[in-house]
Chains A and B, each alone.
Chain A
């Protein structure tokens, strides 16, 4: 029978009498069906929304096939990022090396699509067969005049978080290479939002209403030229604790640009994000605009949120996300809707993240790092939740168990950030939890064991 693998026990914590202790940021245990992917995944998710760059995957077909247009990152202009380009290495290339093919591939694609820059992702076997991707990138770069950046994302070289680091290293090669002469002092960069369902546009609009110029969005609706100029902004606002902090730190070190950690999910965190930015600029006008914006947005959202809350009070939820920052906002947002969180976890949280999360949660909440599917099933059953918040791999399990679901990962097509996003979130939670279909499921809480005809 299933259960918790003994080796996993340190990555699960139940808030209660015993002090907080948690292991995390580890390689996934072999054989445990983790929900995490690999280093390449980490790099790909961070960089791919840059819409006018060429993204070329140097490797066999799978890595490109499975990541083709799977996310909801929207672009207001070019959509080169929605194509999936790969050198599609064959047996012959493994034996003789894939450098020539990569070279030809880059020349062909650069000629055809005229991108503003190119990213070349290394996959697992590239590391093993010894292709000097760096050298090919340099050569193509010097021949075409285009910036061609190698992303060292071989899948096995660590975990998804190392992929984030590789992506930040790649971005750091662009930042600082553009002209910043016309950037004002009320300016910032949005880091760590990927414009899923237009969320970056929402946030950008809020800042605009506050009178702040957004120099670049990294990487949602990303443009190479904007990223080059990012060092001209006076502040970096960083969402997504894991993926972008390396870039933020780099920009602080090299360009003296400070950064703020924010979340755009939930009314409280969204308001806080705007206020903190306003406070940073120490400009009364900006502060006043922020206040007015927050007030009017909240006033707009509250009536419907109140109605929705009425239906949801007392219901329970389980959360499993990619990054941990989101988990806080979700616990908070659920509280606002009258729901409690029975278990919460992430693929890539740090010890700090989990510590803060634990402090924030109710008693008896289960906290889990890098959960596998068996554990999630067990927690869901044990805690009798009404709602599961997660991604594509969690959804079918929730449905099998007769539990409502909210899609909160990068493949969602509905905006969940900002004030409007909170409304969307509440609506989605409501529509799933309140659906009549659950009544047809025997043995689910509230239903009788034998299906009666009422």
Chain B
């Protein structure tokens, strides 16, 4: 039963972040690209601060820094100044321009401005990609998908067919990106994975003097995405219209495989099967071993998790796969709260969950205060989601397994794994152990063997 929380006029403790944040993550994952916000300085600084809190990495976002005169006369001047400053400081090959609600509300014709700017910069200057991401329209995951689409639309070129596969992996952790690349490589598949911020947002100590922006998906490769053999796109429980894969299908006839994020045995089986089909190869032995070990661990832990009640919250892409995975081990997702639901969420769950649980409450477009109130009535054993659920975890005395974005009260957010049999294994161990720890702590006996 889906509930829409639009009766109330107020959001109490937002459970989503704003649209430009997603676009910034995409641009961070492109080699030699700088993210740029067109609008108020506050937006770039706050988004920086939030991403820094999660990734514990420096995040640079430039901004056109609107002042009062920009609002009255338009932001063209500031856009020019800002872009030139970025070019001088970073020497990028691409600048990703995401709009803020301020720029959109004053009616800026960004595409036109960007075209004009691109002409001024000439062939020697960086490529400009612009994407419309006002904060009043969507959430950070929407911004993410729209930015991927904008990059593809701007850069994709015609050309001879290539053997590579496009992978639009969505808003996953750097650890998951690294693992996906490993999987594709093991199948002998050449891929264009975008955005690849696995190094840009998770790297080591700087040995060089200056910050480099070189890591990420190469622009030259992105230009050939229209020539790919196929596109694999993860997620998109939410909004097909934002799909980069759809764009490529329409423009170049590139076959599109939309898959849920591969979490759990079932969804990974589908994913690996698809890779087997695309590569013409058998699933490499080590993944079969991982799968086998994973199922073995399900059996080892089955009694610890049977019919345990979980509350899930986060982007619908993640929730769909998580609900499927939990269902397969016997955990009941009693409440799924999507931060970005657009109405397809519940249908998608019912289509993809083998045996949809009638105990499941699904809510969309909600806030944390509402999630908390509902969760309190449902008495969960477990919460799975980002750090903003900690208050709820503490109030309800239910352990929180941190997953997603933002995680700002633990270290290692970038290294949280969920995808593949291996990622699922780590996540599963964390979930079971959270339940065991609670059991151990709650028991007056102080058992040392469980």
Task: Name A residues whose Cβ lies closer than 8 Å to a Cβ of B.
Answer: 1-3, 5, 7, 27-41, 56, 60-68, 70, 83-91, 93-94, 101-102, 104-105, 108-109, 124-125, 127-129, 155-158, 373-374, 377, 381, 392-393, 395-397, 399-402, 441-443
> A156 near B63 (CB under 8 angstroms)?
no
B interface secondary structure, majority? mixed
Question: Would you call B290 an interface residue if the criterion is a C-beta within 8 Å of the partner chain's C-beta atoms?
Answer: no
Count of B interface residues, CB-CB < 8 Å: 74
Q: B91 — which chain A residues lie within 8 A by C-beta? A: 1
Whether B443 is near chain A, meaning CB under 8 Å from some CB there, is no
A-B contacts, 10 of them at CB < 8 A, read: A28-B41, A29-B81, A33-B48, A34-B45, A62-B21, A83-B13, A91-B137, A93-B136, A156-B67, A400-B57
Cβ-defined partner of A36 (8 Å) among B45, B71, B136: B45
Asked if A62 contacts B18 (CB within 8 A), the reply is: yes
- Asked if A125 contacts B58 (CB within 8 A), the reply is no
Who on chain B is nearest to A129 by CB?
B105
- Is B85 at the interface (CB under 8 A from chain A)? yes
Q: Look across to chain A and name the residue whose beta carbon is closest to the beta carbon of B8.
A: A108
| Partner of A396 from B40, B41, B56, B134 at Cβ < 8 Å | B56
Q: Which chain A residues border B64 with CB–CB below 8 Å?
A: 30-31
Q: Is B11 an interface residue (CB 8 A)?
A: yes
B78: chain A residues at CB < 8 Å are: 30
Which A-chain residue is minimally distant from B18 (CB atoms)? Answer: A62
Q: Which residues of B contact A105 (CB under 8 A)?
A: 9-10
List chain B positions with a Cβ less than 8 A from chain A. Answer: 8-14, 16-21, 36, 39-50, 52-53, 56-68, 70-71, 78-79, 81-86, 88-91, 100-102, 105-106, 134-137, 139, 205-207, 209-211, 367, 369, 388
Residues of A within 8 A of B61 (CB): 33
Cα distance A56–B211 in the bound complex, in angstroms: 39
A127 lies within 8 A of B13 (CB): no
**CB-nearest residue of chain A to B390:** A69
B residues less than 8 Å from A443 (CB atoms): 207
Residues of A within 8 A of B79 (CB): 30
Among A37, A109, A156: residue with most chain B CB under 10 A: A156
CA distance A313 to B230 in the complex (A): 62
Known interface pairs A27-B65, A29-B81, A31-B84; A67-B46 also in contact (CB < 8 Å): yes
**Which chain B positions have C-beta within 8 A of A402?**
205
Assess A34 versus B41: contact at CB under 8 Å? Given A29-B85, A377-B211: yes
CB < 8 Å neighbour of A37 from B16, B42, B67, B106: B42
B residues near A2, Cβ cutoff 8 Å:
89-90, 210-211
Q: Nearest chain-A residue to B17 (Cβ)? A: A65
A64–B369 Cα gap in the complex (Å)? 14
* Pairwise interchain contact A83-B42, C-beta atoms closer than 8 A: no
- A68: which of B9, B13, B134, B206 is its contact (CB, 8 Å)? B13
CB distance from A247 to the nearest CB of B (A): 22
Q: Which residues of A contact B59 (CB under 8 A)?
A: 396
- Tell whether, in the assembled complex, residue A30 and residue B52 are in contact, meaning their CB atoms are under 8 Å apart: no
Question: What residues of A have a CB within 8 angstroms of the CB of B106 in the complex?
Answer: 128
* Min distance, Cβ A109 to any Cβ of chain B, angstroms: 6
A27 touches B67 (CB 8 A): yes
Across the interface, which residues of B come within 8 angstroms of A93, CB to CB?
Answer: 136
A91:B85 contact, CB within 8 angstroms: no
Whether B42 lies near A63 (C-beta < 8 A) is yes
Q: Nearest A residue to B19 by beta-carbon distance?
A: A62
On chain A, the residues within 8 Å of B52 by CB distance are 392-393, 395-396
A173 to B152, CA, bound (A): 53
Given contacts A64-B14, A86-B14, A443-B207, contact A155 B58 (CB under 8 A): no
Q: Flag if A41 contacts B45 (CB, 8 Å).
A: yes
Cross-interface CB contact of B63 among A30, A60, A108, A399, cutoff 8 Å: A30
